[in-house]
């Protein structure tokens, strides 16, 4: 396994590399591998569960619980992105492309493209 980077944006890249490595393991031995083995629908469902748990933690006003659930959410999002052949760098590129555009204008532009 690779050395851990300092906790920063590089952490997401490190998590993606760990996910790619563990994906190759036996589903009986690796939680990550078991997620991939069960397929996209299961991974997406797991992400949804983590999203709901994050919302509940936010509403409970328990900061530690929120941080823990947000970490689970990001982890499962990384698994889903990997499963679908993309990554956080591509997501960050989308965010960068929206920089300087008002949220309302950006949302309207997406509606017009449909």
CATH number, domain containing residue 79: 1.10.287.1080
Tell me the residue ranges of DSSP E strands in 9-81. none
Pick from 74, 76, 109, 73: nearest CA to 94: 109
Judge whether 4 lies within some domain: no
Look up the domain containing 75 and give its range: 10-113
- Could you give the 3-state DSSP secondary structure of residue 42? helix
Residue 1 lies in a domain: no
Is residue 92 within 8 Å of 12, Cβ to Cβ? no
pLDDT in tens, 53-65: 999 999 999 999 9
pTM, to two decimals:
0.82
Q: What is the pLDDT of residue 114?
A: 67
Q: How many domains does the chain have?
A: 1
Kindly tell me if the per-residue pLDDT of 26 is higher than 80: yes
Q: How confident is the model at residue 33 (pLDDT cuts 50, 70, 90)?
A: very high
Q: What is the mean pLDDT of the chain?
A: 90
């Amino acid at each position: 396994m690779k050395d851990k980077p300092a906790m920063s944006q590089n952490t997401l890249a490190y998590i993606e590399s760990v996910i790619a490595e563990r994906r190759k393991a036996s589903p009986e031995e690796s939680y990550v591998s078991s997620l991939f083995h069960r397929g996209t629908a299961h991974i997406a469902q797991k992400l949804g569960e983590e999203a709901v748990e994050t919302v509940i933690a936010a509403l409970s006003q328990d900061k530690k619980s929120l941080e823990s659930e947000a970490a689970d959410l990001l982890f499962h999002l990384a698994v889903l992105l990997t499963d679908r052949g993309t990554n956080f760098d591509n997501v960050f590129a989308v965010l960068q492309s929206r920089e300087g555009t008002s949220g309302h204008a950006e949302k309207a532009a997406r509606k017009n493209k449909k």
